[in-house]
């Protein structure tokens, strides 16, 4: 194993018992380049590309109450080609990260830190919050783009070296939310943002040439809290759930959500390049959805799959310290009762039909991105650990037959959502692998695993061992090497 320590960052974090600053969530403060790693099994020679995972990784002692989604972004990359792999990790050099590095301390309080206030407002924060760019990651136009769930600037990096390429030039003044959507079939990227001022929601399209092609307001009646969007071949799907910031508090830059169970969920569907007057709204059962899987068109209907929450505002966890109990409930997917669900929107009649696809608690789904916006058969969901924002395994659904397979990571081993990696020259939708970073608490290290997508119950076909652990986090993506090179 060849390990190059690129840089070590000095931490000011004090010892504490916060569950999301210890164990699988303990932060890492070293940046590495690693090659010739120990491999258990054999790295497949029939894949070519990069696996990228964003993670929440705080450097400085938080101001006030800490929420893991406030933390600095650290990107982890494993590249594959010709049966070999290379790993790198880098902090995402946002303006907020650099300001706090210069100050040697946290300058912004997190979104649950009330009544503690930030030491610095404005400058490089979104509505008084630091834009950590730590939530999501995609590859578009041959470059990485990271984003933050509270809407901020898009940050670009090189997909192989993780060199910082700066702020995305087309970033609107209202920012970019996490969960931009890349259509591999056209090269376009759809995005949205939300905020506390009317019209409260915007939607846009960026071309394959990374130029902003379309940007419109989408009017809703209050500052809502959308987290994700979806698209089909011809339409984009936005949402307005009955989960919104409390108006009298958001004016004080206090981000406290309130769930309104007596109001319906609303879905705004518009053509990909549609105008505000083209948005058609549909109503459905009240819920909240963090993440969608896929959407596609079938006759007059748009079919949308995602993770319906049966309990969007759960009670605090009783077995946790009082100071953490509410926060832990709101990131516990078992408490939220997230399950795979399907909505059918009839564009001709305006009718909505919905159904559960499984009653098991699941979230963070992935699928073969060549089928994005199209009818698809296979979905790969993460299986959450009860009581913690951690994932213990993966579940594969055959949406045609209803059959499913499960792969568990093992005792005290935690992974993430697992992007689908197509084999070179793949012949079918599930002809490829699932890839994930796994943190092994017994060994106090992490590894990258590849799992045969056609037989996930067999477990990893290879395990690539890292000498250190990776802090757990949120989202990940796969980008084909051929697509990256074609965009250069």
| CB of 298 closer than 8 Å to CB of 267 | no
pLDDT digits (tens, 9 = 90+) for 429-473: 999 999 999 999 999 999 999 999 999 999 999 999 999 999 998
Confidence of residue 125 (pLDDT cuts 50, 70, 90): low
Given a cut of 80, whether residue 251 has pLDDT beyond it is no
| CB of 380 closer than 8 Å to CB of 420 | yes
Instruction: Supply the pLDDT for residue 127.
Output: 63
* CA-wise closest residue to 226 among 154, 284, 287, 290: 290
Find out whether the peptide bond into 199 is cis, omega within 30 degrees of 0: yes
Instruction: Supply the pLDDT for residue 128.
Output: 72
Tokens coding 359: 């009653």
Given a cut of 90, whether residue 126 has pLDDT beyond it is no
Given a cut of 90, whether residue 254 has pLDDT beyond it is no
Q: What is the mean pLDDT of the chain?
A: 95
**Strand pairing of 257-259 and 230-231?**
unpaired
Burial 424-447 (b: 16+ CB within 10 A, else e): eebeebbbbbbbbbbbbeeeeebb
Average pLDDT over residues 281-297: 98
pLDDT digits (tens, 9 = 90+) for 165-217: 999 999 999 999 999 999 999 999 999 999 888 999 999 999 999 999 999 99
**How distant is the alpha carbon of residue 189 from its chain centre?**
15
Q: Using CA atoms, how far apart are residues 68 and 127, in angstroms rounded to an integer?
A: 18
Sequence length of the chain is: 488
Q: Using CA atoms, how far apart are residues 116 and 487, in angstroms rounded to an integer?
A: 45
Q: Please give the domain boundaries of the chain with CATH numbers for all domains.
A: 2-487 (2.130.10.10)
**Strand pairing of 476-480 and 49-56?**
antiparallel
Q: Please report the sign of the dihedral spanned by the C-alpha atoms of residue 25, residue 380, residue 207, residue 301.
A: negative
Does 125 or 243 have the greater pLDDT score?
A: 243
- Which class for 457: exposed (0-12), middle (13-18), buried (19 or more C-beta within 10 A)? exposed
**How distant is the alpha carbon of residue 32 from its chain centre?**
23
Type and span of the H or E element at 284: strand 280-284
Tell me the chain's radius of gyration from C-alpha atoms: 21
Number of helices (H), then strands (E), belonging to the chain: the values are 5, 36
Average pLDDT over residues 71-79: 97
- What DSSP line would sit under 81-141, residue for residue? ETTEEEEEEEE---HHHHHHHHHTS--S--TT-TTS--SS-STTEETTEE----SEEEEET
Confidence of residue 319 (pLDDT cuts 50, 70, 90): confident
Tokens coding 191: 């995005």
Span between the terminal Cα atoms of the chain, in Å: 31
Q: What's the whole-model pTM score?
A: 0.96
pLDDT digits (tens, 9 = 90+) for 19-36: 999 999 999 999 999 999
Tokens coding 377: 């058969």
* CA-wise closest residue to 157 among 24, 5, 53: 53
DSSP 8-state class, residue 14? P
Place of tokens 């987290």: 227
DSSP 8-state class, residue 29? -
Given a cut of 80, whether residue 301 has pLDDT beyond it is yes
239 Cβ neighbours under 8 A, 6+ residues apart: 226, 228, 229, 265, 266, 267, 268, 289
Confidence of residue 246 (pLDDT cuts 50, 70, 90): confident
């Amino acid at each position: 194993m060849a390990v190059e320590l690129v840089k070590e960052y000095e931490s000011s974090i004090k010892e504490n018992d916060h569950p999301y600053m210890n164990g699988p969530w303990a932060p890492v403060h070293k940046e590495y380049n690693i090659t010739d790693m120990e491999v258990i099994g054999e790295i497949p020679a029939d894949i070519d590309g990069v696996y990228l995972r964003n993670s929440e990784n705080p450097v400085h002692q938080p101001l006030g109450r800490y929420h893991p989604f406030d933390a600095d972004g650290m990107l982890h990359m494993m590249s594959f080609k010709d049966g070999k792999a290379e790993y790198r990790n880098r902090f995402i050099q946002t303006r907020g990260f650099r300001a706090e590095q210069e100050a040697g301390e946290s300058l912004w309080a997190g979104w649950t830190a009330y009544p503690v206030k930030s030491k610095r407002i404005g400058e490089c924060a979104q509505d008084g919050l630091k834009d950590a760019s730590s939530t999501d990651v995609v590859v578009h136009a041959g470059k990485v783009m990271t984003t933050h769930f509270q809407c901020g600037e898009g940050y670009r990096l090189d997909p192989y070296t993780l060199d910082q390429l700066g702020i995305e030039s087309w970033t609107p003044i209202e920012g970019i939310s996490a969960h931009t959507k890349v259509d591999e079939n056209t090269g376009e990227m759809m995005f949205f943002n939300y905020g506390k001022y009317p019209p409260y929601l915007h939607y846009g399209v960026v071309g394959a040439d990374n130029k902003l092609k379309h940007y419109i307001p989408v009017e809703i009646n209050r500052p809502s809290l959308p987290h994700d969007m979806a698209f089909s071949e011809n339409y984009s799907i936005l949402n307005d759930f009955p989960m919104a910031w409390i108006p009298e508090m958001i004016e004080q830059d206090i981000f406290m959500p309130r769930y309104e169970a007596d109001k319906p969920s609303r879905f705004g569907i518009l053509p990909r390049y549609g105008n505000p007057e083209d948005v058609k709204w549909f109503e459905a059962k009240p819920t909240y959805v963090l993440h969608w899987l896929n959407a596609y068109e079938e006759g007059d209907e748009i079919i949308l799959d995602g993770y319906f929450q049966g309990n969007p505002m759960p009670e605090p966890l009783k077995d946790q310290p009082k100071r953490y109990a509410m926060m832990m409930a709101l990131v516990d997917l078992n408490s939220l009762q997230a399950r795979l669900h399907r909505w059918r929107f009839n564009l001709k009649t305006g009718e909505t039909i919905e159904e559960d696809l499984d009653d098991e608690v699941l979230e963070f789904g992935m699928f073969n991105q060549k089928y994005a916006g199209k009818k698809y058969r296979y979905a790969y969901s993460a299986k959450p650990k009860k009581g913690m924002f951690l994932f213990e395994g993966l579940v594969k659904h055959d949406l045609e037959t209803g059959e499913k397979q499960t792969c568990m990571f093992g005792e005290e081993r935690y992974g993430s959502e697992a992007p689908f990696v197509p084999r070179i020259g793949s012949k079918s939708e599930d002809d490829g692998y699932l890839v994930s970073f796994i943190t092994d608490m017994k060994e106090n290290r992490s590894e990258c695993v590849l799992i045969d997508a056609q037989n996930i119950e067999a477990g990893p076909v290879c395990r690539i061992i890292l000498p250190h652990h990776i802090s757990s986090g949120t989202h990940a993506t796969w980008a084909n090497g051929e697509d990256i090179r074609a965009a250069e």
